[in-house]
Amino acid sequence: MDINLPLILLWLVVISGGIWLVDSLFFARQRKKKVGDQQADPIVVEYAKSFFPILAIVFVLRSFIVEPFQIPSGSMIPTLEVGDFILVNKYAYGVRLPVSRTKVMDVGEPKRGDVMVFFPPHNNDTYYIKRVIGLPGDRIELKNNVLYVNGELARQELIRAIPPSNPQTEVMWEDLDGYRHEMQKSVHPRQYSNFSGVVPEGHYFMMGDNRDNSLDSREWGFVPEKDIVGKAFAIWMHWDKLLSLPSFKRVGSIQ
């Protein structure tokens, strides 16, 4: 099972803050009366005082403003590669309480073409990242890896073929209502090259840019609005192997 980092961080904030508060209210004054102002605080209290402000700031930042993620799979190639470290805007689609994920304030709604982090319906403990293809009410169709949204063709333009001598994969520009992004697909249609469905209200249809190597809404269904985490907006580092050096060549905004 994946580690629930937000819950762990919350408990660390509560415990360190609680130790500091209880000591301040009940024990610190008594110590000073007995041994004077020069008496050092117990080691547990010292650690609590040192770590609580840092933990609290990190908790607030990653819960409500920006959270870092690392890309673990190739489902978003060529947009995102394995080892990319990205930043996710946590308030782009509304302010949510940490851990419970309850929305407390509306800010904006996902747009077609956004790269979004969310919890998929089949695994509500694991972060996924895909591109928003279908909004509530949209009819989504894939015909041999050519996308249609509400009957409108998402135009594709060839960038390069891989390998050039005997193409098996095509890297394309795809136009989603004027939102242009890169994607890649197999030359020969595969299992998920064809699809048809209507996005229910309050849900979104998500697909990886690596169309034939992505488990997404074509496999496990539509993503409920309540399971949205945030909008991915930037790559800040690339580090794919532990023994390799980090690279900053891919730093930039996510298209």
d(CA 8, CA 69): 17
Instruction: Give the pLDDT confidence score for residue 34 in this predicted structure.
Output: 65
d(CA 122, CA 220): 6
Instruction: Measure Cα distances from 178 to 29, 31, 113, 148, 157 in Å.
Output: 66, 68, 9, 14, 13
d(CA 239, CA 131): 22
Instruction: Measure Cα distances from 56 to 48, 60, 89, 205 in Å.
Output: 11, 6, 19, 35
What sections of the chain are H helices per DSSP?
5-22, 28-35, 43-60, 217-220
Task: Count the Cβ atoms, other than its own, within 10 Å of residue 241.
Answer: 8
Query: What are the pLDDT digits (tens) for 198-241?
Result: 999 999 999 999 999 999 999 999 999 999 999 999 999 999 88
Q: Which two tokens stand for residue 255?
A: 């298209």
d(CA 117, CA 88): 8
| Residues with catalytic roles | 75, 130
Which tops the pLDDT comparison, 218 or 5?
218
Residue 31 reports pLDDT greater than 80: no
Residue 2 reports pLDDT greater than 70: no
DSSP per-residue letters across 82-130: TTEEEEEESSTT-EE-TTT--EEE------TT-EEEE--TT-TTS-EEE
Instruction: Give the pLDDT confidence score for residue 1 in this predicted structure.
Output: 38
Q: Categorize the per-residue pLDDT at 110 as very low, low, confident or very high, splitting at 50, 70 and 90.
A: very high
Dihedral sign for Cα atoms in the order 7, 122, 253, 76:
positive
Q: Which residue has the tokens 């794919």?
A: 240
Q: Which residue has the tokens 């996710």?
A: 88
Instruction: Give the pLDDT confidence score for residue 178 in this predicted structure.
Output: 87
Q: Which of 32-36, 85-89, 130-134, 223-227 has the lowest mean pLDDT?
A: 32-36
d(CA 118, CA 133): 14
Q: Which residue has the tokens 């547990």?
A: 44
Q: Which residue has the tokens 């402000």?
A: 53
d(CA 120, CA 178): 27
Q: Which amino acid is at 152?
A: E
Largest CA distance in the chain: 85
Query: What are the pLDDT digits (tens) for 112-151?
Result: 999 999 999 998 889 999 999 999 999 999 999 999 999 9
Mean of pLDDT values over 149-169: 95
Q: For residue 247, give the DSSP letter.
A: B
